[in-house]
Amino acid sequence: MSLLLGAVAYDPKVVTIWTGFRTWFRDRGVDFDYVLYSQYERQVEALLDGSIDLAWNSPLAWIRARRLARHRGAEVRAVAMRDTDRDLASVIVVRADSDLHTLDDLRGRTVATGAIDSPQATLLPLAVLADAGVQARIRRHDIGVGLHGDHIGGEREAARALRTGGADAACLIDANLLQFAREGVLPSGSVRVLGQTTPYDHCNLTAGPGVDAEAFVDMLLGMEYGDDQLRPLLDLEGLKQWLPGRTEGYAALDAAVTATGFYRQDGGIGATGYRP
């Protein structure tokens, strides 16, 4: 078995993680290696042209990969994901002393978001506003564009804009709301939640068209957190257990991508001003 995986270098720890996993797989007879990309769009294109066999994809990258594949009469598969990738939620928060109490109150007000390509801090929460028929002024924070929200700099700046009065509301994944409280960016008790997305899934390991990765995936799913060699790597990657991939958790994002034209149905990039 010989497999090449693509991963996006959103943080230096990515090298540590996948180098460690490569050693673990090779010690078990699997000819496994990885290459790094600076952005997800190029990684998805590499998966579809066969340059790599597997891609560690963001949810937005999964949407594009599936659209590109189907346009070409092929299929990609979500073969694995972390236990922490399932059933997440994003929130729209306001300052605790704000006079805003419903989503409808945000009409004409300023809402701070993450980067243009962040599912968790832009596309999904703004879809909640759109579904509610609310038109607001959007103050976007395009930090780490091309990383699909993996870099939380845009979210952090959105939170700061809310705290300093530069915005009336901010869009965040709920886990970062907790982190920003610990950091003091949004101190505990300083904000309250005005709206929330339905649960959604995050990253998945995507197999390219025709790639036989079953044996590899079986080994991945068999990784044990109690393994002293693996545990530091799993901690860095933010999981305790790999789970089988599933796709139903991407429906809301797929709908948001269609509604905004972020990607066309053929997988082409349609978002105005998006330069990864």
Fold equal for 2-85+201-260 and 90-196: yes
Q: Select from 53, 142, 128, 56 the least CA-distant residue to 92.
A: 128
Measured in residues, the chain has a length of 276
2-85+201-260 CATH choice from 1.10.1060.10, 3.40.50.10130, 2.60.120.200, 3.40.190.10: 3.40.190.10
When pLDDT is cut at 50, 70 and 90, the band that residue 139 belongs to is very high
How do residues 82-113 score in pLDDT, each as one tens digit?
A: 999 999 999 999 999 999 999 999 999 999 99
CA distances from residue 128 to 6, 49, 228 in whole angstroms, order as listed: 32, 35, 43
With a CB cutoff of 8 Å and minimum separation 6, the contacts of 131 are none
Range in 118-127, 149-158, 240-249 with the lowest mean pLDDT:
149-158
CATH code given to domain 90-196: 3.40.190.10
Domain range list for the chain: 2-85+201-260, 90-196
Cα angle vertex 88, ends 256, 189, to 5°? 105
pLDDT tens digits along 211-263 = 999 999 999 999 999 999 999 999 999 999 999 999 999 999 999 999 999 99
pTM value is 0.96
pLDDT at 151 over 90: no
Token pair belonging to 175:
């886990």
> Tell me, what's the pLDDT at 172?
97
In the prediction, which pLDDT does 57 show?
Answer: 98
| 242-244, strands of its sheet edge to edge | 31-37, 2-8, 54-57, 204-207, 77-82, 242-244
Q: What is the mean pLDDT of residues 162-176?
A: 97
Q: Per-residue pLDDT for 1 more than 80?
A: no
Task: Let me know if 16 is exposed, middle or buried by CB neighbors in 10 A (0-12, 13-18, 19+).
Answer: middle
Region 193-197: mean pLDDT is 97
